[in-house]
């Protein structure tokens, strides 16, 4: 009799598309010398992964999830995280939520691409930190000398930003403003843009202090939703 993790792997394999399996390694930068070097794909779209995750999230244990999350196959790991998010969101038990957070952190070495981070960290770590009024988990990640930990930290504050709380996000953006990796420039700009969607004055106040020192990618992301004349003023240094 197959375990739930084995059933999920079979279900995902049946949904695989050859063309996607060939395209995904290029899209997710899994080539030699790239940030996801060696990652393997079977070619399952996210909507199809969500269907499988929805079917199994209420059945699978954390131990079985660990088997999926440690797989060399990207879609196995992503599907595991979708189920972990579902478990966290449906739980009303603080102890169970705490265990899921510990599980996430213990296995974060497998959360090693931007989609894996972005689709899970703020829904688990960010929410946990916000609801417990304690940013220490995200702050510790931001201090680590590791790309994915730093991205978890800043993207984790999305839960805060959506609720109008910006201080932790701004702290992390400034701490890693000059991180050498483009993925951090994009993440920082993305979160600043989200802040601007909630409160444009907060974004403008931040930009007026720091935009001349920001990497160009971060600035472009941050100002994307502003009026065109304002965008041009920032891009041309006229503010």
pLDDT band at 237 (very low <50, low <70, confident <90, very high): confident
* Three-class SS state of 73: strand
Measured between alpha carbons, how far is residue 93 from residues 17, 62, 98, 106, 217 in Å? Answer: 39, 15, 9, 20, 41
Tell me what the pLDDT averaged over the chain comes to: 96
Quick one: pLDDT at residue 197? Answer: 97
Report the predicted TM-score, pTM, of the whole model to 2 decimal places: 0.95
Quick one: pLDDT at residue 192? Answer: 98
Q: Tell how far CA 182 is from the center of its chain.
A: 15
The rounded percent of the chain whose pLDDT value lies above 70 is 100
> For the chain, which domains are there?
1-109 (no CATH), 120-239 (1.25.10.90)
Tokens of 193: 């843009």
Q: Rounded CA gap, 189 and 193, in Å? A: 6
Q: Rounded to the nearest 5 degrees, what angle is found at the Cα of 110, between the Cα atoms of 19 and 28? A: 30
**Helix ranges, 93-164 (H):** 94-106, 114-118, 121, 127-131, 136-143, 147-156, 158-162
Quick one: pLDDT at residue 120? Answer: 98
Q: Does residue 1 have a pLDDT over 90?
A: no
Q: Rounded CA gap, 80 and 66, in Å? A: 8
Q: Considering only CA atoms, which of 52, 51, 79 is closest in space to residue 67?
A: 79
The string of pLDDT tens digits covering residues 191-209 is 999 999 999 999 999 999 9
Backbone angles phi and psi of 214, in degrees to 5: -80, 145
pLDDT band at 139 (very low <50, low <70, confident <90, very high): very high
pLDDT band at 66 (very low <50, low <70, confident <90, very high): very high
Quick one: pLDDT at residue 52? Answer: 98
The string of pLDDT tens digits covering residues 140-172 is 999 999 999 999 999 999 999 999 999 999 999
Q: Rounded CA gap, 203 and 191, in Å? A: 10
Q: Rounded CA gap, 167 and 76, in Å? A: 35
Quick one: pLDDT at residue 140? Answer: 97
Mean pLDDT of 27-39: 95
The string of pLDDT tens digits covering residues 73-129 is 999 999 999 999 999 999 999 999 999 999 999 999 999 999 999 999 999 999 999
The rounded percent of the chain whose pLDDT value lies above 90 is 97
Quick one: pLDDT at residue 214? Answer: 96
Mean pLDDT of 61-80: 97
């Amino acid at each position: 009799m197959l375990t739930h993790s084995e059933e999920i792997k079979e279900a995902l394999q049946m949904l695989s598309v050859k063309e996607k399996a060939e395209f995904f390694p290029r899209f997710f930068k899994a080539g030699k010398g790239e940030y996801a070097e060696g990652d393997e794909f079977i070619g399952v779209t996210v909507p199809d992964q969500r269907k499988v995750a929805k079917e199994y999230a209420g059945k699978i244990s954390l131990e079985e999830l660990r088997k999926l999350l440690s797989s060399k196959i990207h879609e196995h790991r992503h599907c595991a995280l979708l189920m972990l998010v579902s478990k966290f969101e449906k739980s009303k038990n603080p102890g169970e939520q705490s265990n899921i957070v510990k599980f996430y952190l213990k296995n974060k070495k497998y959360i090693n691409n931007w989609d894996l981070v972005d689709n899970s960290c703020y829904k688990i770590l960010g929410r946990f930190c916000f609801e417990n009024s304690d940013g220490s988990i995200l702050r510790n990640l931001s201090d680590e000398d590791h790309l994915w930990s730093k991205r978890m930290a800043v993207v984790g504050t999305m839960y805060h930003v959506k609720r109008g709380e910006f201080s932790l996000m701004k702290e992390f953006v400034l701490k890693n403003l000059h991180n050498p990796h483009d993925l951090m420039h994009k993440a920082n700009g993305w979160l600043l843009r989200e802040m601007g969607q909630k409160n444009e004055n907060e974004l403008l106040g931040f930009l007026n202090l720091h935009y001349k020192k920001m990497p160009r990618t971060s600035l472009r992301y941050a100002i994307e939703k502003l009026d065109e004349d304002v965008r041009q003023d920032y891009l041309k240094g006229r503010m």
